[in-house]
């Protein structure tokens, strides 16, 4: 039986009550009292949906000890559940991913490899890039993010693999924005298979949306999606869907 069973039970109860701040505070206190390893061990025992509930409430104004210490495997297990929040613009998803993957003490590629190893990993990354889909296609085709290169042409899957190992036209330092461009660069040149898989998932999502089969009305594949932000039900400070009592591994 875990020596931290009481804390785990308390954290789960706080999350179920919608008190994400309280849950993070309890976990932070553990790190202060017993060290980082103790917190990492507790995160390993918490359900991924509970770890996700804390991580996705990332606030740029303050550091989150959970985001700073979560391991690549723990992060990946939580990330694949994020789609169940139905956050149309994926605002929380992008903030969370950037905060964890670019935190500095672990190579970003370690997180990407852990994500790619899980079913649903490429879909989570596709959601991350949804609002930048056409720019990602331009990057895959031309190797640059210049808008002028976005001529609407789409490479076939075979063509994507044919150009996958072409020399980089831009260095990582040129796109080191700790955001989607840097993440795209890392995928394109250090996780090629995952990059292509992510792009193919994006295309499938766009096709499903065009056919009226998607469940994201007003989502990123609508016209002018870059300018749309509708996260009223998941805004920071409100009870999140993951806070609802459930024995399932779902985040809703």
4-16 pLDDT, tens per residue? 999 999 999 999 9
For residue 223, what pLDDT is reported? 40
* Alpha carbons 63 and 123: distance in angstroms, whole number: 27
For residue 64, what pLDDT is reported? 86
Q: Is 194 exposed, middle or buried (0-12, 13-18, 19+ CB in 10 A)?
A: buried
pLDDT in tens, 89-142: 898 899 999 999 999 889 999 999 999 999 999 999 999 999 998 899 989 988
Question: pTM higher than 0.95, yes or no?
Answer: no
Quick one: how many helices (H) and strands (E) in the chain?
Answer: 13, 0
For residue 44, what pLDDT is reported? 96
* Alpha carbons 1 and 158: distance in angstroms, whole number: 51
The set of residues, in sequence order, having a beta carbon less than 8 Å from that of 3 and lying 6+ positions away, is none
Residue 223 or residue 85, greater confidence: 85
For residue 230, what pLDDT is reported? 33
> Is pLDDT at 42 greater than 90 in this prediction?
yes
Distance of CA 244 to the CA centre of its chain: 21
For residue 245, what pLDDT is reported? 36
pLDDT in tens, 194-235: 999 999 999 998 888 677 765 554 455 444 343 332 333 333
For residue 246, what pLDDT is reported? 41
Mean per-residue pLDDT, 28-56: 95
Mean per-residue pLDDT, 143-152: 69
For residue 229, what pLDDT is reported? 28
* Alpha carbons 151 and 148: distance in angstroms, whole number: 7
pLDDT in tens, 186-197: 999 999 999 999
């Amino acid at each position: 039986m875990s020596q931290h069973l009481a804390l785990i039970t308390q954290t789960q109860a706080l999350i179920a009550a919608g008190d994400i701040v309280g849950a993070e505070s309890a976990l932070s206190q553990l790190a202060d009292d017993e060290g980082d390893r103790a917190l990492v061990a507790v995160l390993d025992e918490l359900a991924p949906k509970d770890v996700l509930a804390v991580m996705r409430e990332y606030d740029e104004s303050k550091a989150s000890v959970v985001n700073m210490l979560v391991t690549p495997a723990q992060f990946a297990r939580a990330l694949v559940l994020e789609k169940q929040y139905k956050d149309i613009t994926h605002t929380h998803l992008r903030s969370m991913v950037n905060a964890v993957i670019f935190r500095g003490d672990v190579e970003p590629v370690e997180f990407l490899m852990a994500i790619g190893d899980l079913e649903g990993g490429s879909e989570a990354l596709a959601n991350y890039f949804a609002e930048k889909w056409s720019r990602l296609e331009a990057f895959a085709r031309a190797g640059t993010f210049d808008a002028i290169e976005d001529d609407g042409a789409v490479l076939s899957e075979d063509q994507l693999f044919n150009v996958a190992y072409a020399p980089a036209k831009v260095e990582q330092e040129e796109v080191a924005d700790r955001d989607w461009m840097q993440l795209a660069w890392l995928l394109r040149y250090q996780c090629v298979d995952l990059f292509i898989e992510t792009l193919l998932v994006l295309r499938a999502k766009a096709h499903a949306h065009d056919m009226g089969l998607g469940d994201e009305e007003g989502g990123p594949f609508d016209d002018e999606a870059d300018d749309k932000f509708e996260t009223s039900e998941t805004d920071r400070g409100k009870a999140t869907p993951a806070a609802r009592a459930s024995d399932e591994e779902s985040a809703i």
